[in-house]
Structure 1
Amino acid sequence: MKRFILPFLLLSLCWACKKNNLTETPPPNPEPPVQIPAQQGMITTDKNFYTSSDAITITYNPAKGNAALNGFTGDVYVHWGVITNASAGAADWKYVKSNSFTTPDAASKMTRNANGTYSITITPQSFFGVPSGEQIRKIAMVFRNADGSIVGRNYDGSDIYLPVYSNGVNVRFIRPELHPTYTLTPVQQTYAIGQQIEVTGIASTSANLRLTLNDKEFATANSSTIITGKATITDIGTQTIKLIANGTVQESFSFTANGTVVTESLPAGAKPNGVTFINNGTSAIFALYAPQKNYVYVLGDFNNWTATASGYMKRTPDGNTWWIQIDGLNPNVEYAYQYWVDGAIRIADPYTEKVLDPEHDPYIPAANYPNPGIYPIGKTTGIVSTIKAQQEKHSWSYPSITKPSKNNLVIYELLLRDFLGANNYQTLRDTLNYLSNLGVNAIELLPINEFEGNSSWGYNPSFYFAPDKYYGSKKSLQAFIDACHEKGIAVILDIVLNHAEGQSPMVQLYWDATNNRPAFNNPWFNPTAPHSALSFGYDFNHESSTTRAFVKDVLKFWLDEYKVDGFRFDFTKGFTQKPSNSIDAMSAYDASRIIILKEYNNFIKSIDPNAYVILEHLCADEEEKELAAEGMMLWNNLNYVFNEASMGWLSNSNFSRADYRTHGFTQPDGLITYMESHDEERMMFKNITYGNASENYNIKHLETALKRQELCAAFLFAIPGPKMIWQFGELGYDISINENGRTGEKPILWQYNTQPARVALKNAFTLFINLKKKNSIFSTTDFTHNLAGAIKFIKLRNGNNTVVVVGNFDVVPQVASIDMGSSGTWYDVARNNQALTILDGTYSATLAPGEYHIFSNFILNP
């Protein structure tokens, strides 16, 4: 019986307690559920984990990231697509909702919230129309206003990539705040040695969680959905924190830890910019001019594109230049590299001689550049620079030539892209006989240094020391120049130093993302061009000593490394800081601009006293006169008046401005006159489209139009001074400049050389060029002319020798009456030196439309 007493008593006590409203002591309360911190950052979602079939609400905070839409109150749209298992790479967007970035997708319009954020709810699989068998891995997006002129991105300008989870265990970070991009990066990218970073991670289901810093564990939480820990930073360079669940599932992010910047002068012999090889090419000293920056790493193939202590750059005592020596290089290996500045941007070296461009290099014809280099895919983004200590060098046979005198200069302006089907330097080299037979003694190449894209005129430059690979290698360019020199042909490089484009690392290095322009502290560029009436790209400030030093480095490099014979400076009218809001004001006399151009001219002449310095200036005569007096040559655009004469419309056909004296110049060699350049509508196109006519004489007819070009050319080359031809002008190229867009590719029509009427024009050009080069009278300063009206003439005198060129530019016969200066026998070189006797010193004749003669009182050397 005793053994039953205790249970009975316990039951009785329990019943009594309830009867008297008494309670027994309760067991301890279970632990409250762990509170998972709320998401924070530019992008948040209403669920921590979601699959492609879940409805999710995405919220965008425009005050974060690049903050481009911060304060914007209009409609905000998402421009987006997805990265799937079928994507070719991390940036291969699929199922993009709108094919036009300037036209919004109505289904992608966001709702503005009371706190200024914007939200939208979607179910990814159905919203993007992704087939059920295809797995969405990330949602790729940017935010924009209706026309796409304002775009919200990550703080560094990159696109936004939001992960999409699969079923099972998933993990993600809640702290620190991260950017949703390819590789997660915290908002605070850089930390200091000894600093702690607080980390919180969560899991979709209970799991054994670990946090590691550089694979060293610093926190654990078993059977939990949340883990928190603090990591102490002990190393310089890239640090990686991982969140691991059950030993296999993981997420990671990276950041940089910096030590104290070492202040130290550049080693003796090291170049202040670019790369200097030492120790037989096994070591390289990298130098970057970047004042006002906090830290710089050099990243490259030599350190697996990772920020390391050995790549943490030193700073010179003046605070302007960053440098570091990298050892252990193979002199025979080409290394790609970039500079990582302040954890914000990665740029190629502004002084690199070769770049790798992942977007455009794959489209370079193999015949032009067989092996352009291997881009470090997956290790970095953007354009990278390259170095190689032991490069195959061209052995110069003709590093210099006796340059043609400026008075006798006949320049052939050439865009390699539109000149040859195989548009590379080797093929151009094989074509030199054509140009030499034509008689030209200088080739002016449109810009060939690295420009944006592959197909371009070249006036959108990005790198100034690197030839664009689209046309060939460094060695093939040098071999072409050497071959030109062998034939006595000078090579003039068209160079664009008024502006650069957005790919330029110097533009990117100091950038105002808010206003989408160069920052005010950019050492080279104006935030906006002071000459607002006419500007291109991002405007160089030539009153900056930093800009002038850079320009001189560029000029010296091409003179020394490529043996070019001179430069044609594009748009030197823009080398001014003088505010102007009209073309006339911009073209007015500017003493500061003159000083700048004289400085560049003197620098070039200090390297090569005979180098050509040609300016596309087109400013006031007073200014151009002063520049010409310093030995520079000025472009003289007479396209309009020559074309009016060629078309037979005579009221505006006075080309007396081809005479250097009308500009106030003292010598003819300072004025380069041309009928066509790359910038003007082609004369033959206007002839056959708008040419005048009378009865049976019609300039729109091809053969007549070609003869009108011959008439104009006879006068062009007879007027003393250097001359220029635009490519195929000698064959009457008649495709409009606007064909396929102004700067678009044009048909290459070498078959013109099989058409007798066009060959006749080319032969006439050859005659006129040789007359100019071989007979000093065409360089005389003793000449008179009447270059207005229907009957035009020019009379040149050199001692007792006289040459008279006369022509009828009307579409009806006209009477010519020209004082020849003397009687006797005259020879018409345009008609195989047919003799003409003049008895009273006056040439009188009725000239048919388009008829011309080149008379001389002596036998000219053709």
Structure 2
Amino acid sequence: MLFASDNNVEWDLLSHETMHDLRPLVPLDAESFQVQLLVGGDDLTDARVGYWVDGAFVGWVDANNAGPQGPKDIWIASIPSVTGTRVEYVFEVIDGSDSDYYGSDGASETLPTDRFVVDFGTLEHARKGATPVEGGTVFRVWAPTRSSVQVRGEFNGWSTGDALTKVGEDFIGFVAGAEAGDMYKYYFNNSHWNTDPHAAELVTSDNLNARIVDPLAYQWQNDDFVASPLDEWVVYQLHVGTFAGRNDPFGSTGNPSGYRDVGDRAAHLAELGVNVVMLNPINEFPGDFSGGYNPISMFAWESAYGSGDDLKYMIDELHGEGIAVILDVVWNHVSPTDNFLWDFDGSQQYYDASPQDTPWGAQADFDKQGVFDYYMESVHHVMGEFRMDGYRQDAVMAMTDSGWTGQWSSG
């Protein structure tokens, strides 16, 4: 038991994001959908969801504890299909005699006016990237200065015609027939092709095309893993591509070795007394061989090591042996080669007009909200969808407004 029922809801452990915690991930056409709420393990005794349709209150539906995910529990409620275009909802969370609420601005003691929103008209509850749903895929991309965006891919013969709708600074839309496994790119203002910064897979052998991936396809086996206390950590730094295969008593592997090779040797790491693996950077990089400190995407994983589901298998196997996974991540620059974020949509969005340099490449324009969001959304990708347990952040001294910070240059 992680949090005893003590008549006190742990507000800091409540979490719900419409872009990640709905099932289906992007509800369409006023269909019924589930909402998921993450809470402290064993903290709640009850929960329910109140919902409104087009501004009118409808009622409450009960939530049920669906079990653990790491140190937290997942509570799930189903909102029925509606006649309307906009559903708003809030959670009531109960621990014994303590009853509180959780809305889009956080927890409160009274029923909040800030609510989570599913908008069937705009689909602004969709996350960025490509999300496969029944009958097609929902696409969303940040392109604040563009007037049009089309999706061109294998599903439409790479032709024009599947235009997205501008909603704020993003373009969003459902494309029928696009499915997991299909390659695609965006086409901005009828003149500029580029791939998807939020794609979970980039096809490096085919012009960095993005590939649609089903984020729910992998079936996790070790939902209840909880990392050891920090003062008990025994950390093994691991480079996936060189970890296995050479003088390997467990057998040969391809070169480079991959995610599944590491997962298949998780028991060996546990036998060594390891309880934390710190991965060298594994975001997609140019070529097949690298230390990983030249990423080109914060969402796509190094494809020479395997697929995203192979990576989930590796993490799952390590968790099954009691081993936490933390990621060495590089936000201070991207690779100078294959940098598709440069002039991304035909205009400079991800970098300053006068780029701030680091010793390894230009620094992203973190002051711009869309750029800031890109990096912060990757945290959920890493620690939410892929269930990693922490970060080692590379060279934060190169992430300041002045670029490379001189007083840090000597270490």
Q: What is the rounded CA distance, in whole Å, between the counterparts of 1:492 and 1:348 in structure 2? A: 28
Once the two structures are superposed, residues 751-788 of structure 1 have per-residue CA deviations (whole angstroms, 9 ceiling, x without a partner) of: xxxxxxxxxxxxxxxxxxxxxxxxxxxxxxxxxxxxxx
Could you say which residue in structure 2 is the equivalent of 1:351? 198
Q: CA 1:447–1:529 in 2, change beyond 3 Å: closer, same or farther?
A: same
Q: Of 139, 158, 177, which aligns to 1:286? A: 139
Paired positions, count? 282
Q: Is the aligned partner of 1:443 residue 2:281? A: no
The answer on whether the counterparts of 1:285 and 1:326 sit within 8 Å (CA) in structure 2 is yes
Residues 313-324 of structure 1: pairs in structure 2 closer than 5 A? 313-316=164-167, 318=168, 320-324=169-173
Q: Deviations over 1:132-156 (max 9, x none)?
A: xxxxxxxxxxxxxxxxxxxxxxxxx
Q: Is 1:276 aligned to 2:142, yes or no?
A: no
1:149-160 correspondence to structure 2 within 5 Å: none
State the partner residue of 1:387.
212
The one-character-per-residue Cα deviations of 1:529-574 (angstroms, maximum 9, x if unpaired) are: 54x5x43223113233222211111001111111101111111111
Superposition TM-score, scaled by structure 2 size: 0.62
Q: 2:341 aligns with which of 506, 512, 527?
A: 506
1:488 is aligned to 2:325: no
- Determine the C-alpha separation between the residues in 2 that align with 1:335 and 1:313: 18
1:101-148 deviation per Cα after TM superposition (whole angstroms, max 9, x unaligned): xxxxxxxxxxxxxxxxxxxxxxxxxxxxxxxxxxxxxxxxxxxxxxxx
Distance in 1, matches of 2:174 and 2:267, equals: 48
* Counterpart among 138, 141, 150 of residue 297 in structure 1: 150
**Structure 1 residues 312, 429: CA separation in 2 closer, same or farther (over 3 Å shift)?**
closer
Shift in alpha-carbon separation, 1:473–1:272, aligned structure 2, 3 A: closer
Q: Give the Cα–Cα distance (whole angstroms) in 1 for the partners of residues 272 and 400 of structure 2.
A: 38
Q: 3-state DSSP class of the match of 1:547?
A: helix
Give the match for residue 342 of structure 1: 189
Give 2:176's aligned residue. Answer: 327
SS at 1:466 equivalent: coil
CA contact (8 A) 2:333 2:362 kept: yes
Q: How does 1:124-143 map to 2 (within 5 A)?
A: none
1:441 maps to a residue whose letter is N
Separation in structure 2 between the aligned mates of residue 306 and residue 420 of structure 1, nearest angstrom: 43
Q: Which residue of 1 aligns with 2:311?
A: 477
Q: For residues 30-75 of structure 1, give each alpha carbon's deviation from its aligned partner in whole angstroms, at most 9, with x where no partner exists.
A: xxxxxxxxxxxxxxxxxxxxxxxxxxxxxxxxxxxxxxxxxxxxxx
Matching of residues 436-835 of structure 1 within 5 Å: 436-501=270-335, 502-509=337-344, 522-527=348-353, 530=356, 534-578=358-402, 583-584=406-407
Secondary structure in structure 1 of the residue aligned to 2:379: helix
Q: Distance in 2 between matches of 1:471 and 1:524?
A: 27
Gaps of 5+ in 1: 1-263, 359-374, 376-381, 512-520, 588-617, 619-862
3-state SS of paired residue (2:370): helix
State the partner residue of 2:266: 432
Q: Against the structure 1 CA distance between its residues 546 and 268, is the aligned structure 2 distance closer, same or farther, given a 3 Å change threshold? A: closer
SS of the counterpart of 1:433? helix
Change (3 A) 1:386 1:434: same
Contact 2:196 2:210 survives alignment (8 Å): yes
Residues of 1 paired with 2:287 and 2:159: CA distance? 28
Deviations 1:384-422 (A, max 9, x none): 111155x78332222342322222222111112222232
Give the C-alpha shift of residue 270 in structure 1. 4.0
**Structure 1 residues 730-761: Cα deviation after superposition (integer angstroms, max 9, x where no partner):** xxxxxxxxxxxxxxxxxxxxxxxxxxxxxxxx
What residue in structure 2 maps to residue 261 of structure 1?
none
Q: Is the 8 A contact 1:528 1:538 kept in 2?
A: no
Letter of the 1:561 counterpart: E
Distance 1:283 1:431, change over 3 A: closer
SS of the residue 1:499 aligns to: coil
- The one-letter code sitting in structure 2 at the alignment partner of 1:584 is Q
The answer (yes or no) to whether the contact 1:441–1:490 under 8 Å persists in 2 is: yes
Q: Is the 8 A contact 1:270 1:285 kept in 2?
A: no
Distance 1:547 1:342 in 2: 21
Letter aligned with residue 449 of structure 1 = N
Cα separation, 2, equivalents of 1:579 and 1:561: 31
Q: How does 1:197-208 map to 2 (within 5 A)?
A: none
Q: CA contact under 8 A between 2:122 and 2:172: conserved in structure 1?
A: no
Given residue 313 of structure 1, which amino acid in structure 2 is its aligned partner? L
Q: Secondary structure at the match of 1:294?
A: coil
Question: How far is 1:577 from its partner?
Answer: 0.3
Give 1:31-430 correspondences, 5 Å limit: 267-268=122-123, 270-278=125-133, 280=134, 282-308=135-161, 311-316=162-167, 318=168, 320-329=169-178, 331=179, 334-358=181-205, 382-388=207-213, 393-421=217-245, 422=253, 423-430=257-264
CA distance in 2, matches of 1:277, 1:509: 24
For 2:309, what is the secondary structure of its paired residue? helix
Cα separation, partners in 2 of 1:265 and 1:540, compared to 1, 3 Å: farther
- The offset of 1:436, in angstroms, is 1.7
Cα distance in structure 1, aligned partners of 2:175 and 2:341: 23
Q: Which amino acid aligns with 1:444?
A: M
The alignment yields a C-alpha RMSD, in angstroms, of: 2.7
Alignment-derived partner of residue 664 in structure 1: none
Structure 1 430/327 Cα, relative in aligned 2: closer, same or farther at 3 Å?
A: closer
Structure 1 residues 540, 266: closer, same or farther in 2, change over 3 A?
farther
- The question of whether the paired residues in 2 share the 8 Å contact of 1:288 and 1:323 is answered with yes
Change in Cα spacing, 1:276 to 1:432, as seen in structure 2 (3 Å) is closer
What is the CA distance between 1:272 and its match in structure 2? 4.6
Secondary structure of 1:479 counterpart: helix
Task: Evaluate the alpha carbon distance shift between residue 579 and residue 314 of structure 1 in structure 2; reply closer, same or farther with a 3 A threshold.
Answer: closer
Q: Secondary structure of the residue that 2:374 maps to in structure 1?
A: helix
C-alpha distance in 2 between matches for 1:551 and 1:510: 18
Partners of 1:475 and 1:506 lie apart in 2 by 25
Secondary structure of 1:500's aligned partner: coil
For residue 453 of structure 1, report the CA deviation from its aligned partner: 1.3
Cα distance in structure 2, aligned partners of 1:287 and 1:407: 42
Cα distance change of structure 1 residues 266 and 573 upon mapping to structure 2, 3 Å threshold: farther
